[in-house]
Chain A
Amino acid sequence: MTGAAIVMEHVRKSYGAHVALRDISLQVASGERVVVCGPSGSGKSTLIRCLNRLERHDSGQITVDGVELTDDIAALRTVRRHVGMVFQNFNLFPHLTVLQNCTLTPMRVPGIGAAEAEALAMSFLERVRIPEQAHKYPAQLSGGQQQRVAIARALAMQPRIMLFDEPTSALDPEMIQEVLDCMIELAQTGMTMVVVTHEMGFARRVADRMIFMDDGQILEQGIPASLFDDPQTQRLRDFLGRIVHAG
């Protein structure tokens, strides 16, 4: 199937008695930007974490970048090198400088020297507008800066797909916009993106498609405007009501 970056077919996942994903089928086209939202515990984080197999699905099929995700470690590593991920808690490596965090993956590419890897990493740090912090350690940076470094670190792999798991949820309010701006710029380059977020302004502006999840299922999906303006289910109406109040 050409053009499909991600295909999920009848994916199920449960933790003991708790069912996190029930029969999810979903396709994300290459270059598409999908925003996933839903109340906490709805399975949206599990869904995105299944896409690079940080969580193993119980049944169904997940194909990412043309490769099916199985226990084949070598194939999985190839997929992971094409899929960047940004976490809620940044998960930068505290014992490495910002630059070292970002050169970790380019250094591994055969034939790339240290100088070349650093130049590449610097170019991504410039893209997220913090090249001047390159030689500091993560703990010396603000939350917003750390998350931008995390984006640069993922981009330094030169991935084809980027996954964002609630990238602004751990940030102080005044730092959210600087991270969203980086993501908006990234979206404009045509990157395939799956973003779990409650930032509805971002969804409206960037998303080609919005997915609303509840109780491990996709309840509604479509262009953001139609979900916002014409929700079909009571669940989504309640959710949007709470989000707007909270915002």
Chain B
Amino acid sequence: MIAALRRLGPRNWWSGLATIVLVLALWQAGAALFDWAVIRGHGWDTGPKQCQLDGGACWAVLTEKYRFILFGRYPYEQQWRPAVVIGIFVALFGASASRYSWRPALAGLWVAALALVLVLMRGGFAPLPLVPQDQWGGLPITLLLSSVGCVLAFPLAVLVALGRRARTLPAIRLLCVIYIEVIRGVPLVALLFMASVMLPLFLPAGMNFDKLVRVQVVIILFAAAYLAEAVRGGLQALPQGQFEAAEALGLSYWQTQRRIILPQALRLVIPSLVNIFTGLFKDTSLVLIVGILDFLTAGKVALADPAWQGFGNEVYLALGAVYLGFSLFLSASSRRLEAT
């Protein structure tokens, strides 16, 4: 028993001391959080006045505001539609998480699901009244922008990474380098701003794309530049012999990439790809700069209610938990992918 504890325990005095200090600090923080959230915390149906009397957590703000945070300004009686959309996205992520479901049919499933999402959100026919895009908001916006961003940025990134390494096509190569360097050199906020404010100035009058589409395009282009560099890292990590063996077998360029190079290179860079995907998921909150009400922004707007002042902690904790949940799912899927 003592021996077992010793084996688990610290190796020497200073690591023992560090362990004690860290455990104490964690205990302190945990106890304070528990005290605030549970012991002094108020129930789901307490009024704001009563909450404000003492310092305890006021979870009633979530009961009051969760529909606005999740769905934004979507018409109240139609909010089952974005709720279904969230369900579709969760199901879609679940179906895509396993390597064994990666067949051409999965791409078809994505296209069908995204079409369904757009039809549900927009409506405009018999049982589904039209809900214009400026009333969309909350979690469906965040999920839509980030997952469409990832799914379309990835193939673009592979092409750009291959283009950047195409020794025999200097024009393509230069184009890819310029694209990557320009996108990487400009903050996402600036790109979003340019796309939504400046782009319409350059387009002929009457020709105007939906704001959401413009933002989506920017997110795709932004993510693809970073993904392309990660993919290029994988391509460069492969030994020259793999390229030579494929050449010697008379495989064409595309056969070589598809059958030999990319399967190995992409597997090598799964951790960096997931890193970028997770970052992108959270970066979509920057679309608030052009007035799109994403999940985080919806939370902020909900907090502006004069009747419910001073409950930022509760709302941000809840938002953080949702972001964390999706990100943890993503990293768990990637660990499984690396193992197969």
A: residues with CB less than 8 A from B are 52, 54, 77-78, 80-81, 83-85, 87, 89, 91-95, 104-105, 108, 153-154, 157
B242 with A93: CB separation less than 8 A? yes
- Docked CA distance A91–B261 (Å): 13
Q: Shortest CB–CB separation between residue A165 and chain B, in angstroms? A: 10
* 3 interchain residue pairs of minimum CB distance: A80-B250, A91-B245, A91-B241
Q: Shortest CB–CB separation between residue B58 and chain A, in angstroms? A: 54
**Binding-face segment, B114-122, B224-232, B252-260, B295-303:** B252-260
- Complex interface: chain A residues within 8 A of B185 (CB): none
| A157-B249 contact, Cβ under 8 Å, with A95-B263, A104-B259, A108-B255 | yes
| A91-B242 contact, Cβ under 8 Å, with A104-B259, A108-B255 | yes
Find the residue from B241, B242, B245 having the highest chain A CB count within 10 A.
B245
A80 with B245: CB separation less than 8 A? no
In the complex, what residue of chain B is closest to A52 when comparing beta carbons?
A: B248
- Complex interface: chain B residues within 8 A of A54 (CB): 244, 247-248
A87 with B250: CB separation less than 8 A? no
B250 with A81: CB separation less than 8 A? yes
B: residues with CB less than 8 A from A are 239, 241-242, 244-252, 255, 259-260, 263-264, 267
- Docked CA distance A78–B247 (Å): 11
Q: Shortest CB–CB separation between residue B270 and chain A, in angstroms? A: 13
Q: Is the interface of B mostly helix, strand, loop or mixed?
A: helix
In the complex, what residue of chain B is closest to A79 when comparing beta carbons?
A: B250
**B250 partner, pick from A89, A94, A105, A153, beta carbons under 8 A:** A105
- Docked CA distance A52–B249 (Å): 10
In the complex, what residue of chain B is closest to A92 when comparing beta carbons?
A: B245
A-B contact pairs, 20 of them (CB 8 A): A54-B244, A54-B247, A80-B248, A80-B249, A81-B249, A81-B250, A87-B248, A89-B239, A91-B239, A91-B244, A93-B245, A93-B260, A93-B264, A95-B267, A105-B249, A105-B251, A108-B255, A153-B249, A154-B248, A154-B249
- Docked CA distance A73–B130 (Å): 56
- Complex interface: chain A residues within 8 A of B260 (CB): 93
Q: Shortest CB–CB separation between residue A85 and chain B, in angstroms? A: 4
- Docked CA distance A93–B267 (Å): 14
- Complex interface: chain B residues within 8 A of A80 (CB): 247-250
Q: Shortest CB–CB separation between residue A156 and chain B, in angstroms? A: 9
- Complex interface: chain B residues within 8 A of A89 (CB): 239, 241
Q: Shortest CB–CB separation between residue A87 and chain B, in angstroms? A: 6
Question: 8 more A-B contacts (CB under 8 A) besides A52-B248, A85-B248?
Answer: A54-B247, A80-B250, A84-B248, A85-B245, A91-B245, A93-B245, A93-B246, A154-B248
- Docked CA distance A89–B239 (Å): 11
Q: Shortest CB–CB separation between residue A105 and chain B, in angstroms? A: 5
- Docked CA distance A83–B247 (Å): 11
- Docked CA distance A157–B267 (Å): 28
In the complex, what residue of chain A is closest to B253 when comparing beta carbons?
A: A73
B248 with A104: CB separation less than 8 A? no
- Complex interface: chain B residues within 8 A of A105 (CB): 249-251
In the complex, what residue of chain B is closest to A83 when comparing beta carbons?
A: B248
- Docked CA distance A145–B237 (Å): 25
**A87 partner, pick from B244, B252, B264, B267, beta carbons under 8 A:** B244
- Docked CA distance A95–B267 (Å): 10
Q: Shortest CB–CB separation between residue A119 and chain B, in angstroms? A: 19
**B241 partner, pick from A87, A95, A153, A157, beta carbons under 8 A:** A87
- Complex interface: chain A residues within 8 A of B250 (CB): 77-78, 80-81, 105, 157
Q: Shortest CB–CB separation between residue B212 and chain A, in angstroms? A: 39
Q: Shortest CB–CB separation between residue A42 and chain B, in angstroms? A: 20
